[in-house]
Amino acid sequence: MQKTISIVIPVFNEEKNIPLIAHEIVRIFGTIPQYAYEIIFVDDGSRDNSQKVMEDLAKIDEKIKTIEFSRNFGKESATSAGIHYATGDAVIAIDADLQHPVSLIPQLIRRWENGADVVIGLRTKNEGQSAIKSFCSFVYYKIINAISDTPIEPGATDFRLIDRKVVDEFNKFTEHDRMTRGLIDWLGFKREFVAFQANERANGEAQYSLLKLAKLAVSSAVSHSLIPLKMAGYLGTCIIFTAGIGGLVVFIQRYMLNDMLGWNISGTAQLAILMIFFMGVMLACLGLIALYIGNIHKEVSGRPLYVVRKKRNLK
Ligand code: UDP
Ligand code: MG
């Protein structure tokens, strides 16, 4: 039976790029006629003519489907929506700005046919990306991989193919504050990487400002790890011990041995030790709270307990 590939494209102010990418995808699928396909444009509250442009395309070609958001929800939500509505045997998410090479699609499909469940585009070089953005992304990956429960491959992009069974699992996620790529990584499955060089954006400006990226970075770090909060707890425990021992030594030497060693510790210093001790207690309590929040977070985000890749003789 002919397999169908769903192409999901999040769109935010891309009126010039929509016809370009649609045309490019139709052309590429012309070279692999054994596959059927659908193109799902998800308009993420564009303020230009994007909606009309994609609708006009959908009128001529029924393989082109469109979803319109009521406002800008962000790329992560747009991609998720596209994946929800996709009907294909595999879904490929790709940016509208032609930074992800459409010509790589047949290769992604080949890897999938050879057994991979998730085929991830790995960006080797990003033309036109500012030095500061590259540096930030480098630091970000270093930090997140040090603290996160799910390791993230540096350079891994949203340009990726996911198999139907991954799609079905992905659709079970209920969390709102999400990073699509992080969730797909969390799911696991058989993953393979395909390297590519990112092109320069075809038309328009990159929508992701540094501030927006920083927000995404923080939210993904927070949703994948409690280490920052737990660190406060560890720090507090260390402080309790040091200040506790220090305080004990001072107390014994000053009041029990009547300053036998002649240290002559002032009242202010004693007060300082006492304050540091209680600061430690407070930080340790924060760490304790982290444990509770961790449990709440796990329950509230309603993630599946486990994810099955394959079953045999079972429904
Ligand atoms: N995008 C979106 N909603 C937004 C911002 C961006 O759907 O709020 C889409 C955008 O149209 C493009 C993709 O997400 O298809 C990547 O956006 P952009 O090129 O601005 O980001 P970058 O290339 O810097 O990752
Ligand atoms: Mg881009």
Of these ranges, 105-114, 153-162, 285-294, the one predicted with the greatest mean pLDDT is: 105-114
**pLDDT band at residue 309 under the 50/70/90 scheme:** low
Q: Pocket residues for ligand 1 (CB within 6 Å)?
A: 10-12, 14, 44, 72, 74-75, 78, 95-97, 99, 201, 206-208
* Mean pLDDT confidence for 125-142: 73
Asked if residues 111 and 196 have their Cβ atoms less than 8 Å apart, the reply is no
* Burial class of residue 198, CB neighbours in 10 A (0-12, 13-18, 19+): buried
- Residue 196 C-beta-side C-alpha neighbours within 13 Å: 24
Q: Which residue has the higher pLDDT, 244 or 295?
A: 244
pLDDT of residue 214: 79
Q: How far is the CA of 211 from the centre of ligand 1 (A)?
A: 14
Name the percent of the chain lying above pLDDT 90: 33
SS3 49: coil
Quick: pLDDT tens for 174-219.
877 777 888 888 888 889 998 888 777 777 777 667 777 777 777 7
DSSP 122: E
Question: Would residue 258 be called left, alpha or beta, if left means φ above 0 and alpha means ψ between -120 and 50 degrees?
Answer: left
Q: How far apart are CA 222 and CA 157, in angstroms?
A: 20
Torsion of CA 149, 153, 158, 163, to 10 degrees: -80
Q: How far is the CA of 266 from the centre of ligand 2 (A)?
A: 62
Q: Which residue has the higher pLDDT, 253 or 164?
A: 164
Q: What is the pTM of this model?
A: 0.71
Q: How far apart are CA 250 and CA 242, in angstroms?
A: 12
Give the closest residue (by CA) to ligand 1 atom 17: 207
Q: How far apart are CA 311 and CA 315, in angstroms?
A: 8
Asked if residues 221 and 228 have their Cβ atoms less than 8 Å apart, the reply is yes
Identify the residue whose tokens are 């790995």. Answer: 122
pLDDT of residue 112: 95
Ligand 1 probe mutation, 201, 207, 211, most atoms within 8 A of CB: 207
Q: Which residue has the higher pLDDT, 60 or 155?
A: 60
Query: Which chain residues have CB less than 5 Å from ligand 2, an ion?
Result: 97, 99
Q: Which residue has the higher pLDDT, 272 or 154?
A: 272
**Which ligand 1 atom is at minimum distance from the Cα of 74?**
8
* Mean pLDDT confidence for 52-74: 88
SS3 83: helix
